[in-house]
Homo-oligomer: A and B are copies of this chain.
């Protein structure tokens, strides 16, 4: 496939363009974001746009679609409470997680509809997903409107973290292959992960470069 102009993309059939542009960036992390409203209505939603922003301070972001046409409970709840959780999807959770993207009514909880258990830990206001192996609790740090298309980059600061110690290397790295954490491509295809390589921090005097 060769696309040689923006016009060719513009002229594509809508669903084909949606799938193509959603999948060309490569694999994305599969996470569930948990929130609760001040009225105590829980919300859970799958996001493939969770991204590392910085480690000191520890900041994680995600992209929220425009709020104009559709109700965005995740967004409303974060605005109300300043809190949200990010929970890894593992291979036993894929189908249930996928269906959190259904447009349920505002007073329906995806936890109940999609058969997940909400879990509250150490007085953190937002619900975690009990079934997830890695659970992160975040405080809202900033919201940046993306002028180009009305999306928002929601940035949270990591305040809590729960993960099996056995899956964390002594250097701090989370070992995804021990957790069955999965990735997602585009809007509906899920992938398991096999570790195939690991390299040290790259330095100019590395043998790899000397041999080159």
Q: Mark A155-175, 1 if CB is under 8 A from B, else 0.
A: 101111111110011011111
Q: Which residue of B lies closest to A65 (CB)?
A: B54
A166 to chain B, nearest CB (A): 9
A208 adjacent to B95 (CB under 8 Å)? yes
A29 adjacent to B31 (CB under 8 Å)? no
B193 adjacent to A191 (CB under 8 Å)? yes
A60 adjacent to B202 (CB under 8 Å)? no
A112 to chain B, nearest CB (A): 9
Instruction: Specify how many copies of this chain sit in the oligomer.
Output: 2
Query: Is A136 in the interface zone, CB < 8 Å from B?
Result: yes
Q: Mark A86-107, 1 if CB is under 8 A from B, else 0.
A: 1010010011001111111000
Known: A29-B25, A185-B176. A113 touches B212 (CB 8 A): yes
A32 to chain B, nearest CB (A): 11
Chain B residues, Cβ within 8 Å of A24:
60, 134, 136, 158, 161, 163, 174
28 A–B contacts from the bound complex (CB under 8 Å): A3-B160, A4-B160, A5-B159, A5-B160, A6-B159, A21-B158, A24-B136, A24-B158, A25-B60, A26-B29, A26-B31, A26-B176, A26-B181, A27-B176, A27-B193, A28-B51, A51-B51, A53-B63, A99-B208, A103-B204, A146-B155, A173-B185, A173-B189, A176-B185, A189-B198, A190-B196, A191-B194, A194-B194
